[in-house]
Amino acid sequence: MEKDRADLKRPLTYWIGEGAGWLLHHVVTGLAATGITPNMFTLVALGVNSCAAALFAMGQFRAAAAALFLAAFLDMADGQVARRSGQVTAFGAFLDSTLDRYSDLGLYMGLVVYYTLIGRTFYMVLAAIAMASSFMVSYSRARAESLIPSCKVGFMERPERLVLLILGGLASRMAPALWVIATVSTITVVHRVVYTWQELKAGRSLPEAGASQMS
């Protein structure tokens, strides 16, 4: 009885998360049963992301958002399928991370092309800045973690950026999404630079960091 009362007090977001988790569990179980490898899901996600990029370039923002949502699901599913089927590999993680960078660049390039074609120079530059700052979020973490144990500070990771692009596409208002991505991504990069400097100054560096700085 007390458990039932506690469940009734849970917020709506909890039940949405529970429902999504239940659905994802069953979908992933079905996908794992097909025998399709996680790397194949990664490659399919790249293809769907490429379609989304082309749709962005043509100004079909809502269709691009739908394609991007599907690509995000596939990108999430590959890791889940790998764990469920016991096919987790270091190369799979490397391939997924590498193709994610190409997918991101393609999406922003699609927006750069769109704003260039319609003669909106300011927004073309904004899309380019969002693209560069998004890349730097990933690069700053990768470079920092070659010097210190971990650098997960900051907010604007890839999932947050994809959510903003999807919301912007659904609303056919990409400019606000690009403003937020460009601004918060830049803040995240600065945060990671400062955090890495503080960690190194405190002596919390990896053993190989000294050799890396000397080479």
Tokens of 92: 């799979």
Q: Do 82 and 92 meet the contact criterion of CB atoms below 8 Å apart?
A: yes
What are the residue ranges spanned by the domains of the chain? Answer: 35-205
Alpha helices in 38-89 (DSSP H): 38-57, 61-84
At the topology level, CATH places domain 35-205 in Four Helix Bundle (Hemerythrin (Met), subunit A) (1.20.120)
The CA distance from 92 to 161, in Å, is 23
Tokens of 126: 């904004």
Residues with Cβ within 8 Å of residue 51, at least 6 apart in sequence = 67
Active site residues: 100
Q: What is the mean pLDDT of each run of 10 residues along the chain (215 residues)?
A: 53 58 69 75 92 97 95 81 78 90 96 97 97 95 92 89 94 96 96 95 79 49
